[in-house]
Chains A and B, each alone.
Chain A
Amino acid sequence: MSDTILSIKDLKVNYGGIEAVKGISFDVPKGHIVTLIGANGAGKSSTLRAIAGLVKPKSGVIEFEGDNIAGKDTTAIVSRGITLVPEGRRIFPDLTVYENLRVGAYMRKDDITPDINWVYELFPRLKERSWQAGGTLSGGEQQMLAVGRALMSRPKLMMMDEPSLGLAPLIVRDIFSIIKEINKRGVTILLIEQNANMALSTADTGYVLETGRITMTGPGKELLVNEAVKAAYLGT
């Protein structure tokens, strides 16, 4: 397992007195798509926020490319190549599509034109609308923009918090096929989903998170047919 890009060991996250993440451990192999599924309030978003440095973990180790980045600030973490597509998209509503993408590349000093072109190639819709204010895009377009904006930092690891939230099934399929395409370009993906079906069929590895603890692990396809997972998350 020398090719593990991200390794979480006994991570705990607290909000005041509330224990949101109660000591979880998992690995993300380089170049893979890994998904974390779980019910509402299981601590999925909190885990991602801790990795991104948006909340300081109470304890535990977050090893990225061999270095412990737990507790470092987001600026440093983004510079190292981790990016987060936040829950609920959170694009900048009063900035244009183009400006949103520029802000995504804020930490970079090199030429960003190739990346802008790549994003426009992945999402031709964004190119058509590059001078439109982000807030006026449809939900699906906003999700595309959120993904595009995250790609602008040229990440090694892209974390996505429920990209399918509130989107029509057709758009969800588009987004997931683009996630695979991004992955093929060498970006490791850590994906959180309520839509377990879609996530598990896309992912190489899946983890099931329940009330702050990991209860199951396995290749995505195996979890997809696992009876317990089916009962709890797939509604079949």
Chain B
Amino acid sequence: MKKKNKAELWIAFAAIALIYVAVAILEQTMDNNHIIFTVLKKGAIYSLVAVSMNLLNGFTGLFSLGQAGFMLIGAYTYSIFTMPTAVKLTESVYKYYEAAVKFDTGIFVGLICAGLAAALFAALIGLPVLRLKSDYLAIASLGFAEIIRAIFQWDVLGPVTNGANVMRNYLDLTDVKIPFTDIPFPPTLYVFLAAGVCIALIVLLINSSYGRAFKAIRDDEVAAEAMGINLFKHKEMSFVISSFFAGVSGALLAMYQYTVQAAQFKAAMTYELLLIVVIGGIGSISGSCIASFLYIAASEWWLRGLDMGKFLGIDAPNLFRSGFRRFVFSIIIMMIVLFFSRGLMGDREISFAGLIRRFNRRQTAGATKGGGIDG
């Protein structure tokens, strides 16, 4: 059993490396304005938040609806920190306020601080709420996300947040350089690397003894407590870490978008992420990632024609107009939830042994249900 696991691990590493090589090659050979690069970047960013949400919902059994709020904190911390001081002092961004933050940092420090800021807020919310029954977290985090969005647009904080106005001219994806050179780093590859490292850290956490304690709490709080697991401490830890990565992903989103505004981080964004986690399978990391890319690809690319008059070669401007895409998309999601009630992956992960087994079974005895995935 142990040996087989090791072989699988190597195959998984090889497959992931292959994906990165493919992304690097695509980016060097294709027109970088192609929609596929939007899908890849946004898909990777959404994968990170979805996985961080899954750490909480799927692996710890805590239901939080604050993702958009923590992403907002991350995005703003990043943009405030990395906007060059010279820019802050002119009127190009802070038009109506005098910028109060008079220093700036590099991209890496900005990303880390974005995560830390989100984690700090999570720790403060968790302190009173996580001692109560788990249900309260959903309400408290949703309320927090709504309030924080209003606060960041509040006039009084204008010198820091620029009020309700757009943040821009901070360090974005075009400012990433290959270390020790002035050559720009391929932006899609950069997003993949940043999100990939974060997701790898979350996977390590889940497979550590802390991760086992999280899963025990999810399965049976009373039994977990009876084993000596301090419920509050572990819930707080999971919540803070999950929020840290939501903050980092908010910062990556800000980098990708070039501009950022508090108003965009609505509750609808959290619901979108929740949908991704459910579609991918609660408790499945690979499911969350696959669902993120499919979701972004469908909404930003494949179904676009439904809003623009032409879809799959069919011209029907009266039917295919603004809003129809949402309608079709909702139906697709409903179907997925109906037919895959535990998500695409359940709580399992992709496994190559499973794929091979499935393939062999096909060849010998004809198709049977399931397979391609393994516990």
Contact = CB atoms under 8 A, between A and B. Distances in A.
| Co-assembled chains A and B | yes
B86 interface: no
Given A54-B222, A92-B220, A94-B347, A75 B228 contact: yes
A84 B220 contact: no
Contacts of B223: 86, 90-92
B222 A86 contact: yes
B185 to A, nearest CB: 40
Contact of B219 (A73, A75, A93): A93
Interface string A68-103: 000001110111000110100011111100010011
A122 B223 CA distance: 22
Contact of B225 (A74, A93, A149): A74
A107 B222 CA distance: 16
B78 to A, nearest CB: 36
Interface string B221-239: 0111111111000000000
A91 B1 CA distance: 23
Nearest to B211: A99
B228 A79 contact: yes
Contacts of B224: 92, 103
Contacts of B212: 95, 99, 102-103, 106
B272 to A, nearest CB: 27
A131 B375 CA distance: 10
Interface string A131-160: 101000000000000000100010000000
A52 interface: yes
B57 to A, nearest CB: 14
A220 interface: no
A131 B1 CA distance: 9
A63 to B, nearest CB: 20
Interface string A183-219: 0000000000000000000000000000000000000
Nearest to A91: B223
B347 A54 contact: no
B228 A78 contact: yes
B220 A90 contact: yes
B227 A149 contact: yes
Contact of B213 (A83, A86, A106): A106
A94 B214 CA distance: 12
A104 B228 CA distance: 8
Contacts of B215: 92, 94-95, 99
B228 A95 contact: no
A34 B230 CA distance: 29
Contacts of A75: 228-230
Nearest to A79: B228
A52 B229 CA distance: 12
Residue from A90, A106, A149 with most neighbouring chain B CB atoms (10 Å): A106
Contacts of B347: 94
A94 B213 contact: no
Nearest to A103: B216
Nearest to A131: B1
Interface residues of A, number: 27
B230 A54 contact: no
A62 B222 CA distance: 21
Given A92-B219, A94-B215, A94-B218, A54 B225 contact: yes
Given A95-B212, A95-B215, A78 B1 contact: no
Given A86-B222, A90-B223, A106-B209, A73 B216 contact: no
A181 B8 CA distance: 40
Given A95-B212, A99-B212, A106 B228 contact: yes
B226 A95 contact: no
A86 B222 CA distance: 9
Nearest to A130: B1
A216 B226 CA distance: 29
Contacts of B226: 52, 54, 74, 78, 83-84, 86, 90
Residue from B220, B226, B229, B375 with most neighbouring chain A CB atoms (10 Å): B226
Nearest to B283: A94
A149 B212 CA distance: 14
A104 B222 contact: no
B318 to A, nearest CB: 50
Given A86-B222, A131-B1, A95 B216 contact: yes
B219 A107 contact: no
Contacts of B230: 73, 75
Nearest to A102: B212
A78 B283 CA distance: 29
A92 B224 CA distance: 8
Nearest to B215: A95
B218 A107 contact: no
Contacts of A90: 220, 222-223, 226
Contacts of A86: 222-223, 226
Given A94-B347, A95-B212, A99-B212, A106 B229 contact: yes
15 contacts: A74-B225, A75-B229, A77-B228, A90-B222, A91-B223, A93-B219, A94-B215, A95-B212, A99-B215, A102-B209, A102-B212, A103-B212, A103-B213, A103-B229, A107-B227
- List the 3 shortest-distance A-B pairs measured between CB atoms, nearest first: A78-B228, A92-B219, A90-B223
Interface of B: 1, 209, 212-213, 215-216, 218-220, 222-230, 283, 347, 375
Given A92-B220, A95-B219, A103-B213, 12 more contacts: A54-B222, A73-B230, A75-B229, A78-B226, A86-B222, A90-B226, A93-B219, A94-B218, A94-B283, A103-B224, A106-B228, A153-B228
